[in-house]
Amino acid sequence: MGNTTYYHRPNKMSKLIFNEQYHLLYCRIAKIGTTSWKLILLVLSGELNNTNADYSFRKLHDRKYPSVPLSSNDKQNYTSFLFVRHPFKRLLSAYRDKFETTLEPSFKKIERQIISQYRPNASMTGRNMAPKVSFLEFVKFLLNYKPKSNFNEHWDFQHKVCSLCDRSFDFIGHFENMEKESNYLLNYIGATDVFFPDHKYNFHVTNSTDENIYLKYFSQIPPKYIIKLYELYKMDFDLFGYSFPDELF
């Protein structure tokens, strides 16, 4: 598919969530409205009455959803879809969600790894315990991490997660217009009485798409690192129609 300098091969273990009732096939990418779409899938399957029903966040994400391997040729008559997001704003959302809020054990381990690598004299215990990972430290961690093929799903490459260069999808929506595009897709498959959840029901809202918040955090990053980060995620920028971030310079 032309220049594949920045293309990363998909994880062979990746799965597509499916819904039998509406013949829907969903490629889930972390930090792109997955909580809302899991609610929608539960409504489509008849387990919930509506997408604004009270449902435990932990239960929503811990439960198993029917799925097939990403490489499977099954269910070719299903409507396949995914949502994508501005690569930098998705990274910022991952950082704010996983390192600025109460850390889950797995991210606490990553926090310690980052601090030990970029603040070698920092204490991780007692009264002199190091402050939380800074956004700059997180960016340095991403740039220097090896191998990139082992990135955590929350900052992994979007094209890799859904194997965009190896399989086609019927619908690719954008996070920036997610409510409207989700409702369009639901109407298209015949689920005319199902709607994208109200914003007040969203979990882990970091407002990282807000332009002021986005500019504030990226103002902490030296231009040379912004360019390197852009080069690292360039395939996602190019494939999904996001331009070079001139607003950061």
122-129 average pLDDT score: 60
Confidence check: pLDDT of 119 > 50: yes
Do 46 and 99 belong together in one domain? no
Confidence check: pLDDT of 126 > 60: no
User: In this predicted structure, which of 73-87, 114-128, 196-210 has the lowest mean pLDDT?
Assistant: 196-210
CB 33 within 8 A of CB 178: yes
State the Cα angle at 236 between 230 and 241, rounded to 5°.
Answer: 100
Answer yes or no: is 2 within a domain: no
Report pLDDT for 205: 60
**Hey, how many other C-beta atoms are within 10 angstroms of the C-beta on 223?**
9
Confidence check: pLDDT of 120 > 90: no
207: three-class secondary structure by DSSP: coil
Confidence check: pLDDT of 4 > 90: no
Do 82 and 92 belong together in one domain? no
Do 112 and 143 belong together in one domain? yes
Answer yes or no: is 230 within a domain: yes
Do 21 and 107 belong together in one domain? no
Answer yes or no: is 237 within a domain: yes
CB 27 within 8 A of CB 162: yes
Do 55 and 93 belong together in one domain? no
Percent of the chain with pLDDT over 70: 88
Give the residue numbers spanning the domain of 54: 15-86+156-201
CB 75 within 8 A of CB 166: no
List of long-range contacts for 140-146, beta carbons under 8 Å, 24+ apart: 140/225, 141/113, 141/114, 141/117, 142/91, 142/229, 142/232, 143/225, 143/228, 143/229, 143/232, 144/117
pLDDT level of residue 247 (50, 70, 90 thresholds): very high
Answer yes or no: is 127 within a domain: yes
Q: Hunting for tokens 């002199």 — which residue is that?
A: 128
Do 26 and 132 belong together in one domain? no
Do 71 and 179 belong together in one domain? yes
Report pLDDT for 212: 93
Do 60 and 139 belong together in one domain? no
Average model confidence (pLDDT) across the chain: 88
126-139 average pLDDT score: 80
Do 213 and 94 belong together in one domain? yes
Answer yes or no: is 9 within a domain: no
Looking at the 3D structure of the chain, how many domains does it have? 2
Report pLDDT for 95: 96
Report pLDDT for 196: 95
Do 215 and 140 belong together in one domain? yes
Do 107 and 219 belong together in one domain? yes
Do 222 and 129 belong together in one domain? yes
Report pLDDT for 140: 98
Write down the pTM of the prediction. 0.90
Residue 230 vs residues 93, 160, 196: alpha-carbon distances, Å: 16, 16, 31
Q: Would you list the DSSP string of 113-171?
A: HHHHHH-TT-BSSSTTBPPPPPHHHHHHHHHH-S-GGG--TTTS-HHHHTTTTTS--SE
